[in-house]
Amino acid sequence: MFGKRKKQVAGCDIGSSAIKLVELKPLKNGEFQLQVAAIAELSPEAIVDGAIMDSSLVVEAVSRLISENGVKNQSFGGSLSGHSVIIKKIQLPAMSADELAESIQWEAEQYIPFDINDVNLDYEILDDGVGRENMEVLLVAVKNDRIADYTSVIVQAGRQPVLIDVDVFAVQNAFEINYGVPTETTALINIGASVTNISVMNEGMSVFWRDVAFGGNQYTEAIQRELSLPREDAERLKLGERVGDHTLQQVLGVVNSVSEDLAAEIDKTVNFFLATSNVDKVERMVLSGGAARTVNLDEVIKGRFQVDVEILNPFRNIRYNESDFDPDWLNRHASAMAVAVGLAVRTVGD
Ligand SMILES: Nc1ncnc2c1ncn2[C@@H]1O[C@H](COP(=O)(O)OP(=O)(O)OP(=O)(O)O)[C@@H](O)[C@H]1O
Ligand SMILES: [Mg+2]
């Protein structure tokens, strides 16, 4: 329909520790206005290792976010990460787009560690290789059963799941609308509760993607062990609350050593990327996810990599009324909302 604005989706990031819901309204000048930004905590049993173990808890949390925030939008966008997602850049003999469409299923088979019939396959031509021997294709495969679990939650909450994205791509979208396309080689590192999503942008293009099973849970568990505390207490302590006689100050050593472990994981991934590409260094690191706010983590990463480290603010370029959203609350939760913002910039059918 000519001239009709495309319909924005509500970005619904179903994470293992919390659901983040963001809705944006496009303005005539190309900017976005914040309509909804909200978080509902999930109990740790609801989603384990990316698998929805107790869907009623998750449906209840999504439904609560919808009703408490008066969300009218029927079209929801979600995203996945972790073991059930495979993203790979592959080289194939150069062929036409039609030929590729016909053979991709078969070509992809050798790159996907799952039965090809069990995944939803998507691809994009990165370089058509015209006049050369090979073409370059980005393959994205997501396990069907995982997609079914996540879309079913949205359906049970009474909304339509119109798209399922991948966390690393959503973070990249959130970064670009707020900071523009980077000129330096930039690693985007989204540190959640159970997974850290890492991607690298080089010369303005996304060139590498990897999920690592490490996140905020590791801090909570280390504090639990150190002080023999129940999980909830360790979590509160980590967030800076006082628990009985205990304070965060007391466990800074433990927190820093987990940050060193996380930095080592990031280092392994970055080294793998550098060894398999013609890029020789990452110049900038941008942290997001709830655990990006871990005390001193940015300093630990800066120390290890000797690069600029900053924390992504996905609301940097987004307009909002201070009477609708408390700037303090937004600031505190901004890093955790990166994926949801990256989903909310998408439109139905894009
Ligand atoms: N101020 C803070 N300091 C330290 N950790 C924090 C802080 N705020 C949140 N976190 C941690 O961030 C994590 C939640 O981040 P996020 O919402 O990005 O994860 P998620 O999407 O639920 O998890 P995943 O994507 O791994 O399934 C939790 O481990 C939480 O304890
Ligand atoms: Mg997450």
CATH number of the domain that residue 179 is part of? 3.30.420.40
Pairing of strands 75-80, 85-93: unpaired
Cα–ligand 2 centroid distance for 103 (angstroms) = 33
Clarify whether residues 298 and 247 are in a common domain.
yes
Clarify whether residues 57 and 184 are in a common domain.
yes
Tell me which ligand sits closest to the C-alpha of residue 18. 1
Clarify whether residues 100 and 131 are in a common domain.
yes
Choose the final residue of a domain: 118, 142, 166.
142
Instruction: Quote the pTM value.
Output: 0.96
CA 84 to chain centre: 14
Q: Return the ligand 1 atom nearest residue 288 CA.
A: 18
Three-class secondary structure assignment of 144-182: HHHHHHHHHHHHHCCCEEEEEEEHHHHHHHHHHHHHCCC
Give domain status of residue 3, yes or no: no
Please tell me what DSSP assigns to residue 337: G
Give domain status of residue 1, yes or no: no
Clarify whether residues 246 and 121 are in a common domain.
no
Give domain status of residue 2, yes or no: no
Clarify whether residues 66 and 91 are in a common domain.
no
Number of domains in the chain: 2
Give domain status of residue 5, yes or no: no
pLDDT in tens, 226-285: 999 999 999 999 999 999 999 999 999 999 999 999 999 999 999 999 999 999 999 999
Cβ-contact 58, 46 below 8 angstroms:
yes
Clarify whether residues 171 and 93 are in a common domain.
no
pLDDT in tens, 132-178: 999 999 999 999 999 999 999 999 999 999 999 999 999 999 999 99
339, with CB counted inside 10 A (0-12, 13-18, 19+), is: buried
pLDDT exceeds cutoff 60 at 289: yes
pLDDT in tens, 178-214: 999 999 999 999 999 999 999 999 999 999 999 999 9
Q: Return the ligand 1 atom nearest residue 13 CA.
A: 21
User: Which CATH number covers residue 107?
Assistant: 3.30.1490.300
Instruction: Determine the residue of 17, 47, 166 to mutate for testing ligand 1's pocket, defined as the one with the most ligand atoms within 8 A of the Cβ atom.
Output: 17
The protein residue with its alpha carbon nearest to ligand 1, atom 6, reads: 291
Residues 6+ apart with CB under 8 A from 252: 295, 296
Cβ-contact 306, 238 below 8 angstroms:
no
Clarify whether residues 95 and 242 are in a common domain.
no
Give domain status of residue 340, yes or no: yes
Clarify whether residues 185 and 170 are in a common domain.
yes
Nearest to 347 by CA among 32, 69, 82: 32
Choose the final residue of a domain: 142, 166, 189.
142
Q: Return the ligand 1 atom nearest residue 216 CA.
A: 29
Nearest to 285 by CA among 306, 265, 269: 306
Nearest to 292 by CA among 191, 187, 168: 191
Give the domain extent around 21: 10-84+143-222+225-344
Q: Return the ligand 1 atom nearest residue 289 CA.
A: 18
Give domain status of residue 133, yes or no: yes
Tell me which ligand sits closest to the C-alpha of residue 82. 1
Clarify whether residues 46 and 159 are in a common domain.
yes
**Residue with tokens 């909804």, as numbered in its chain:** 36
- Which residues does ligand 1 sit against, CB inside 6 Å? 15-18, 192-195, 215-217, 235, 238-239, 289-291, 293-294, 336
Cβ-contact 17, 44 below 8 angstroms:
yes
pLDDT in tens, 58-113: 999 999 999 999 999 999 999 999 999 999 999 999 999 999 999 999 999 999 99
pLDDT of residue 198: 98
How far apart, in whole angstroms, are the C-alpha atoms of residue 134 and residue 278? 17
Q: Return the ligand 1 atom nearest residue 194 CA.
A: 26
- State the alpha helices, DSSP H only, in the chain: 55-68, 97-108, 144-156, 167-179, 216-227, 231-238, 252-275, 297-305, 327-333, 338-344
- Mean pLDDT, range 50-55, rounded to an integer: 96
Give domain status of residue 349, yes or no: no
Predicted confidence band at 3 (pLDDT cuts at 50, 70, 90)? low
pLDDT exceeds cutoff 70 at 4: no
Clarify whether residues 214 and 91 are in a common domain.
no
Contacts 24+ apart (CB under 8 A), 278-283: 279/185, 279/200, 279/202, 279/207, 281/185, 282/185, 282/186, 282/187, 282/200, 282/307, 283/184, 283/185, 283/186, 283/307, 283/308
pLDDT of residue 350: 86
Cα–ligand 1 centroid distance for 220 (angstroms) = 10
Choose the final residue of a domain: 142, 160, 177.
142
Cα–ligand 2 centroid distance for 164 (angstroms) = 14
pLDDT of residue 325: 97
Give domain status of residue 350, yes or no: no
How far apart, in whole angstroms, are the C-alpha atoms of residue 286 and residue 281? 15
pLDDT of residue 1: 42
How far apart, in whole angstroms, are the C-alpha atoms of residue 71 and residue 124? 33
CA 56 to chain centre: 23
Instruction: Determine the residue of 238, 252, 265 to mutate for testing ligand 1's pocket, defined as the one with the most ligand atoms within 8 A of the Cβ atom.
Output: 238
Clarify whether residues 42 and 106 are in a common domain.
no
Clarify whether residues 191 and 294 are in a common domain.
yes
Nearest to 154 by CA among 144, 145, 165, 162: 162
